[in-house]
Amino acid sequence: MACFTAAWAWATPSAQAVTLTQVSSTEWDANNGIISLSMNPQTFNITALKVTLNGTTTDWMDASYPSPFGHAIMFYDLYSYNNPSGIRGTTTSGYHLAGGYLDMWVDKPHIPGTDPLDVENHWVIRDGDPSIHFYQVLRHTAADAATDFGAATVNFYPSANAISRTDGSSLLYMKNTGPNNMTVINETFPSTSFTASLLASNPGRQVQAETVDYTSTALGTHLSSPGLNREFITKYNYSTYEQYRMAHGFVGSQNAFWWVAPSHETFMGGPTKQFLTGIQLEYQSAHLGGQNITFAAGEVSTRMYGPYYIRFNAFDSTHTTADSLYDDATNSVASSLSFYDSEGILLANGYRALANRGSVQATIASTGWSSTTSKNVVVLSDNNTYMQESAKGYQYWGYADSTGHVTIPNVMPGTYRLTAYSLGTWGLYHIDNVAVGTTTKTVTGTFAPRNFSTQAPIWNIGWPDRSAWEFLHGHDSAGHDIRNYLGANNYWQDLAANSGKVVYTVGTSAFQSVWPFTQFKSFYPNLYAGVYGGSTSGINGYDYITPAYVITGAATQGTTPAKFSGPPWEVHFKTTAAQLAQGSYVLVSINLAANDTSSLQVRLNGKHKGSLLWYPRLGSDPEQRSGVAGYNNYAVFQFNTADLNAAGTDNVLTLWGSGSCMYDALKLEIGSTSADPAVKGWPEYDWLYYNSSDASTSQSASAP
């Protein structure tokens, strides 16, 4: 849980008592002197919202500029559980009004055997605070069937005029969205009326989930020549790594609103999990490195999300820039955390006051730590669980210095796994059963970088930083991650010189310009081509942009260009006599930043009829959702040194995925010790070894 010290306080009216008026069965009106809202106690939507700042009242649900769904703020839950009847229990509502705050809730109860998950949502306002706080509680009982919970967000649909600027546009403000994007990122959104008029006759073409091609619309009229210069818009362009996000919001000419997460403890998926920004606060999803939360039949479990809040502010003589409004939002965290310590309903639902928490002081010795503290990450997450699969409990993280020391404060009492890793170093360290109470827990350990030879690697491709950003089309000229829909790059034309494959020569090739950020097996033209331009003839765009080798190759394969399957990628390298003498094993380490594939086939010099076939543990989909990292998979492929060609001659390592693979880094070593996790004592990678004596392959590892 992060705490921030306010440099200055927001000027608010003198505190007034919070009021609640139960107008009807579908309208409760609440007021705290700054915020006036109406809430539907059946649907839990906020249907009316006014905010008074600096003596000016803004109607965030102005009927002249209506929100698209008829309400301002709503919870969005994607239930993936087994409820074929669709029957839900009778929704109940309640509130607590005392101590200068109002907590209102709506409970969607479970029905044992039919609807196996109870979901309770809360809105909270307090005296003189320009914020609406919220949290969500899931409950699963011994009488409930197995189920899972997918995506969860809170969405805000403000009136167009509330955050518009003089030209009708609004500004999305994000800051520090990823390890290579530690800066302010602004995105201008056109006014809804402007966009609506342009798209009235042509709404664009949906090419993939949440992705629209606007090339043939008025928005894309500047794209007039054949080729892959196209206009794509997808909500996944606007996402952020959870470990860096403090707040994001929209800024108009007068007002702004901000989504603020005062703690990341009830998010899921660890520090590398990426969530959407924009008009929502997303805190649970299965994309970009996440997965659904599952409950076994009869499992008794309670899961809270939050508290989080949406904060309103406005320009004045003190706050003259978007940066200063952002600072106001983040500087409000300390006050919010203090408030939560006395919010009785929140505490009754499982929240723990800061005074009743503990801390962890860890010192993990390693030669792999970076001198840059932000690269040395120490994580507390679900016990006996890989941090990226952590979902049901609490999570925390901090950054170790070059000696491996870190203090993580404000930890909920419980039992955790501690994981430590450094961006740029292979592997990770973890220890389970770290019991945290209400005092300081001391943890020590040693993290050995995952090197499988006493000598330097024969070669490296990429950097083991849990991301594919360093490869072709993964970064811009400033080194920032590129968050583009995959069709924004002409992937297959990039590989035309070698008929669809990468030919990487160690010592002469540069991975930044030769190795694409992801490897696709099949040519999917409609993902980015569609009906070309404004054509109404139904002509597929890939007829204009399909490379000749795809057409020829598809004919050879007896299929169409749309189903052309690309060849394996090749890494060419030579060894010296001294390197061949280093040991009996060739050890190829592969880290995947993500994969949307069932298997990856690796072969050395084609000397065996078989080859090593790896089945990564969990797939993720950043290449389809504007990311360069997702769920990290790690494997070591072990061959015999006898499989290498003579010193000074060419060797070829081939790589071929059944779907798509996003590489993080690769390295090849020669050593005298097997990489068998049982031998090395390093459990977090899969191990595959070609046994030439019986022409078999194996794959084994402990849980990561």
Asked whether residue 370 falls in the same domain as residue 392, the answer is yes
DSSP 481: B
Say if residue 494's pLDDT is above 50.
yes
Highest mean pLDDT among 25-34, 147-156, 515-524: 25-34
- Rounded average pLDDT over 576-587: 97
Q: How many other C-beta atoms are found inside a 10 Å radius of the C-beta of residue 46?
A: 25
- Provide the pLDDT confidence category of residue 224 given band limits of 50, 70 and 90: very low
Is residue 270 included in any domain, yes or no?
yes
Widest pairwise Cα distance in the chain: 86
Asked whether residue 277 falls in the same domain as residue 294, the answer is yes
As given in the structure block, the two tokens for residue 208 are 């993939």
Asked whether residue 504 falls in the same domain as residue 593, the answer is yes
pLDDT for 694 equals 44
Q: What is the CATH number of the domain that holds 304?
A: 2.70.98
- Provide the pLDDT confidence category of residue 563 given band limits of 50, 70 and 90: confident
- Provide the pLDDT confidence category of residue 147 given band limits of 50, 70 and 90: confident
Which of 179-183, 250-254, 449-453, 698-702 bottoms out in mean pLDDT, i.e. has the lowest?
698-702
Is residue 659 included in any domain, yes or no?
yes
- Rounded average pLDDT over 587-599: 90
Q: What is the CATH number of the domain that holds 395?
A: 2.60.40.1120
Is residue 438 included in any domain, yes or no?
yes
Percent of the chain with pLDDT over 70: 81
Say if residue 365's pLDDT is above 90.
yes
- Which of 348, 372, 406 is a domain's end point? 348
In terms of pLDDT, which residue wins out, 316 or 233? Answer: 316
SS3 579: helix
As given in the structure block, the two tokens for residue 73 are 């703020």
pLDDT for 609 equals 58
Asked whether residue 632 falls in the same domain as residue 573, the answer is yes
- Provide the pLDDT confidence category of residue 704 given band limits of 50, 70 and 90: low
Give the whole-angstrom CA distance, residue 176 versus residue 451.
32
As given in the structure block, the two tokens for residue 655 are 């790589």
In terms of pLDDT, which residue wins out, 429 or 231? Answer: 429
- Provide the pLDDT confidence category of residue 333 given band limits of 50, 70 and 90: very high
Question: Are residues 604 and 586 in contact, defined by beta-carbon separation less than 8 angstroms?
Answer: yes
Q: Which domain holds residue 599?
A: 459-521+567-700
Asked whether residue 481 falls in the same domain as residue 364, the answer is no
Domain count, the chain: 3
Which of 505, 459, 514 lies closest to 669, judged by CA?
459
Is residue 268 included in any domain, yes or no?
yes
Asked whether residue 87 falls in the same domain as residue 148, the answer is yes
Which of 177-186, 438-447, 617-626 bottoms out in mean pLDDT, i.e. has the lowest?
617-626
pLDDT for 203 equals 66
Give the whole-angstrom CA distance, residue 62 versus residue 67.
8
- Rounded average pLDDT over 397-402: 97
CA 555 to chain centre: 39
Question: Are residues 339 and 126 in contact, defined by beta-carbon separation less than 8 angstroms?
Answer: yes
Say if residue 66's pLDDT is above 70.
no
- Provide the pLDDT confidence category of residue 545 given band limits of 50, 70 and 90: low
CA 121 to chain centre: 24
- Rounded average pLDDT over 662-679: 95
Say if residue 643's pLDDT is above 80.
yes
Asked whether residue 244 falls in the same domain as residue 384, the answer is no
Which of 343-357, 523-537, 631-645, 646-660 bottoms out in mean pLDDT, i.e. has the lowest?
523-537
pLDDT for 13 equals 40
Is residue 652 included in any domain, yes or no?
yes
Asked whether residue 326 falls in the same domain as residue 342, the answer is yes
- Mean of the per-residue pLDDT values of the chain: 85
Asked whether residue 428 falls in the same domain as residue 465, the answer is no
Give the whole-angstrom CA distance, residue 502 versus residue 490.
14
Is residue 666 included in any domain, yes or no?
yes
In terms of pLDDT, which residue wins out, 460 or 628? Answer: 460
pLDDT for 624 equals 74
Angle of helix 333-340 versus helix 322-331 axis, rounded to 10: 20
Long-range own/partner contacts, residues 316-324 (CB < 8 A, 24 or more apart) = 316/11, 316/54, 318/8, 318/11, 322/171, 322/173, 322/186, 322/251, 322/256, 323/184
Question: Are residues 664 and 462 in contact, defined by beta-carbon separation less than 8 angstroms?
Answer: yes
- Which of 446, 475, 508 is a domain's end point? 446
Asked whether residue 480 falls in the same domain as residue 600, the answer is yes
As given in the structure block, the two tokens for residue 132 are 């609406």
- Provide the pLDDT confidence category of residue 189 given band limits of 50, 70 and 90: confident
In terms of pLDDT, which residue wins out, 326 or 606? Answer: 326
- Provide the pLDDT confidence category of residue 201 given band limits of 50, 70 and 90: low
Beta bridge partners of 153: 76, 282
- Which of 307, 325, 348 is a domain's end point? 348
Tokens 């089309």 belong to 473
Say if residue 9's pLDDT is above 80.
no
Q: What is the CATH number of the domain that holds 614?
A: 2.60.120.260
As given in the structure block, the two tokens for residue 418 are 């501690």
Per-residue burial over 156-181, b if 16 or more Cβ lie within 10 Å, else e, is bbbbbbbbbeeeebbbbbbbbbbbbb
Is residue 593 included in any domain, yes or no?
yes
Asked whether residue 374 falls in the same domain as residue 328, the answer is no
- Rounded average pLDDT over 632-659: 93
Give the whole-angstrom CA distance, residue 600 versus residue 543.
30
Asked whether residue 470 falls in the same domain as residue 442, the answer is no
- Rounded average pLDDT over 145-169: 83
pLDDT for 699 equals 55
Is residue 88 included in any domain, yes or no?
yes
